[in-house]
Structure 1
């Protein structure tokens, strides 16, 4: 059997060389040089067009190259019977937590006010609220969401979290399910979205959610572009329903140069850079799962392809 790779070119040859070095006994092929498609039983792919996997009739294990897997599962021809894993570890989650903390502090401490004042040469003093007076809410309690919530609570924010199923996180007030969403949003001034993208969460960052938050709230979204309803975000910022937003993932990426979102006041755009797996994380996680799969052991970070996460 053989492994087919189609990897992110940002890592150059280092990524495939790392995989080859860690799996010297495996037949590793690089797309488009796949050879006989019936040989392929393991695949690691960065992006793929719809139907890409159809020729590989003996495929048993599919690996993403990062934490997100929704774009794979949106393929109507994705073989639901195979096992799937993603790439995430503590370093990957820590990078996301860093992003969340940086932008939470940016909005809490109103750094935009001071940057604008500096541009005007204006000594614009402003009294800051204590972190304990600021109510932050994290949507999603996977590996990334949980660590972000823990770190927000650790530096003193009044932190809550919301997820589909019940969780307990020390120093974090946890809500769950449709019945807990209103109470969660009603107490959340700074909303952090780290949800997986599923049919239930698609479009969740829209008018209905913004209206249930306290007036003048903030949204930080570092999950998937499909969560966002762009027109609703712009309308909420223009109306003052939201006072600011930081968005890292958009429905269309890269965000087109002529997109009006670049110019919306109080909207901060980052280029889907909130967290990226290190080369070593990808190599270690993927090759570790290959060994586990060959030995019949439990896999790391296995995805429920029906639930979507």
Structure 2
């Protein structure tokens, strides 16, 4: 039986080559050269159109190429009776924290002000607030969110965190559930979204959230496009409830050329680049689970469909 791979092209042919080296005894096929659909027992998929998996009647295992799996679960034909595994990279969280810290400092130190002033050839001095006076709220306190919150706290920021369930993180004031959401937002000046996308978190980046923050706040979202109510983000930026936003993941990618996000003042678009698993981790994680599957052993990093991650 064969393995079919539909992979991210960021690594070119290096990734499929490394998978073949890591699993030398397997029949590895790269889409679109799938061959007989009945041969396919395992699929490793980056992104797929709805119904992509339907032809593979003998499929027994599906693997994501990264940590996020919400886009797979949007497919109404996704075979939820089969195990879905994801890639968990220990350094993935560190790279995400690097991304968030870069943009926190950009917005805290108001780098946009100086860039605009340079264009005008203007010597535009500003007094900066110390980090201890800036309250940052991190939504999502899993592997990525917890590390990000700890790093921000270590730099002296006033950090608070919010998640579905209670957490304890040194140096971080933690809130949980709907009951704690309003209190979490009340003082949050820079809101960081690192939540998984679930039915409960879909659309959470909306006017109902922004209006509970101090006026002139900042949004940094490296979660999922489905978290956003796009019109509410644009409205909040236009009316000053938000002074700036950095967004890395979108409902449609690449962002269409005519999308208003490109031209909205104070909005910074990055091309879903906040963090990626390393080539080595992708291969090691996938190959390890294939070996476990062949040996009838428990799989690693298996997705809980009820939780959505």
The TM-score normalised by the length of structure 2 is 0.96
Equivalent residue for 1:144? 144
Does residue 1:185 correspond to 2:178, yes or no? no
Equivalent residue for 1:253? 253
Q: How does 1:213-292 map to 2 (within 5 A)?
A: 213-292=213-292
**What is the CA deviation profile of residues 179-200 of structure 1, one whole-angstrom value per residue up to 9, with x for unaligned ones?**
1111111121100001111111
Equivalent residue for 2:300? 300
Q: Is the 8 A contact 2:39 2:58 kept in 1?
A: yes
Give 1:47 deviation, angstroms.
1.2
Q: How does 1:1-309 map to 2 (within 5 A)?
A: 1-309=1-309
Give 1:127 deviation, angstroms.
1.2
**What is the CA deviation profile of residues 59-110 of structure 1, one whole-angstrom value per residue up to 9, with x for unaligned ones?**
2221111121111000011111111111231222211111100000111111
**What is the CA deviation profile of residues 14-53 of structure 1, one whole-angstrom value per residue up to 9, with x for unaligned ones?**
1011011011112222223333333322210111111111
Q: Is the 8 A contact 2:89 2:278 kept in 1?
A: no
Once superposed, what is the RMSD of the aligned Cα atoms?
1.4
Give 1:135 deviation, angstroms.
0.7
Structure 1: distance between partners of 2:186 and 2:55: 49
Structure 2: distance between partners of 1:102 and 1:22: 35
Mind listing any 5+ residue stretches in structure 2 that lack a counterpart? Answer: none
Structure 1 consecutive aligned stretches of length 4 or more whose deviation exceeds 4 Å: none
Structure 2: distance between partners of 1:21 and 1:243: 49
**What is the CA deviation profile of residues 129-171 of structure 1, one whole-angstrom value per residue up to 9, with x for unaligned ones?**
1111111111112221122112111211111111111222221
Mind listing any 5+ residue stretches in structure 1 that lack a counterpart? Answer: none
Structure 1: distance between partners of 2:25 and 2:212: 56
Structure 1: distance between partners of 2:64 and 2:145: 19
Gap change, CA 1:299 and 1:153, over 3 Å in 2: farther
Structure 2: distance between partners of 1:293 and 1:279: 21
Q: Give 3-state SS (helix, strand or coil) of 1:160's partner.
A: strand
Give 1:268 deviation, angstroms.
1.0
Structure 2: distance between partners of 1:91 and 1:4: 27
